[in-house]
Amino acid sequence: MLPVTTALEALRRARRIAVFTGAGMSAESGIPTFRDRMTGLWAQTDPMEVATPQAFRADPQWVWDWHVHVAAAVTLARPNPGHRAIAALATGGRRVDVITQNIDGLHQAAGSGGVVELHGNLFRLKPFIDEEAAFAAAEAPVICGVCDGYAAWDDCDPYATREDFAELRLAPGPVPRCPGCGALLRPDVVWFNEMLDPAVLDAAMAAVDACDVLLCIGSSLEVEPAASLPWRALRRGVPVLEINPQPTALSAQALSLRGRAAEILPELLASIAGR
């Protein structure tokens, strides 16, 4: 394990810090982690069954309603002292790149800017692109000028605008459709069995490649490709500090601070503030 003094000194001196977060970051804001999913918010339905393109194709309304149910709980959550400590870290010429697997928007609510959302954001919408149908179609799809999806032409409105689309929100009721082409809309999150947006993954790798120190907070590191990001930093010889009440595969190679993010982060960052 990385010695405490070495890690803290590296953090104190860092000009550019990458902060990589998972569900544990928001646990103290009241959002249960994924691997605790048999309790609380996730108890009724296994996300691995409902948060997939296959499930949406089979029953869009069920998948939409489940996301509305999750969003109702997430909307009540507020940033915790850990989120706020990370936002406060970006002072005095220090650059902080937050890379999160969370879809709850709490880093932004705490004041962090330019957050890289690897798995999207629950409160943004995008068109559902049925890759299987597109591959099977005889003709190449036309891209809709309003939603940027494959135009469905179910309900074409030539006067619809991108602003009309941008106003649509995740809310109870029927699954919304693109105001321009009628394509079904879905939350802009990465479901199981889906690839990450390559541009977003590139942004995350660029931040990791440029950092002097990486903080890894509240992730089980079980889901790729996100889980590889801390190792990418380690391969460059960059010090990695991990905050998690449980050990992970990374713990042996990081400075492993065993405890909860909302408690440890304010203390840790206060300890380096007076540098």
The residue annotated as part of the active site, out of 67, 83, 107, 119, is 119
Does the annotation mark 119 as catalytic? yes
**Count of beta carbons in the 10 Å neighbourhood of residue 59:** 13
Residue nearest ligand APR (C-beta atom): 24
Q: How far apart are alpha carbons 112 and 148 in whole angstroms?
A: 28
Select from 190, 148, 153, 152 the least CA-distant residue to 165. Answer: 148
* CB 166 to ligand APR: min, Å: 25
Q: Is 42 in the site for ligand APR (CB under 6 A)?
A: no
Nearer to ligand APR, 110 or 160 (CB): 110
Q: Is 219 in the site for ligand APR (CB under 6 A)?
A: yes
* CB 43 to ligand APR: min, Å: 14
Q: Is 101 in the site for ligand APR (CB under 6 A)?
A: yes
Contacts with ligand APR, 12-31, as mask; x by CB under 6 A: ----------xxx--xx---
- For ligand APR (CB under 6 A), the number of binding residues is 23
Q: Which residues have a Cβ under 8 Å from the Cβ of 85 and sit 6 or more positions away?
A: 265, 266, 268, 269
Q: How far apart are alpha carbons 229 and 241 in whole angstroms?
A: 13
* CB 147 to ligand APR: min, Å: 24
Please report, as residue ranges, which positions from 107 to 136 form the binding site for ligand APR (by CB under 6 A). Answer: 119
Binding ligand APR (rule: CB under 6 A), the pick from 65, 220, 234, 253 is 220
* CB 191 to ligand APR: min, Å: 8
Q: Is 35 in the site for ligand APR (CB under 6 A)?
A: yes
Stretch binding ligand APR (CB under 6 A), from 87-95, 128-136, 151-159, 240-248? 240-248
120 bridge partner residues:
189
Q: Which residue ranges make up the site for ligand APR (CB under 6 A)?
A: 22-24, 27-28, 33-35, 101, 119, 217-220, 222-223, 243-246, 248, 260-261
Catalytically annotated residues:
119
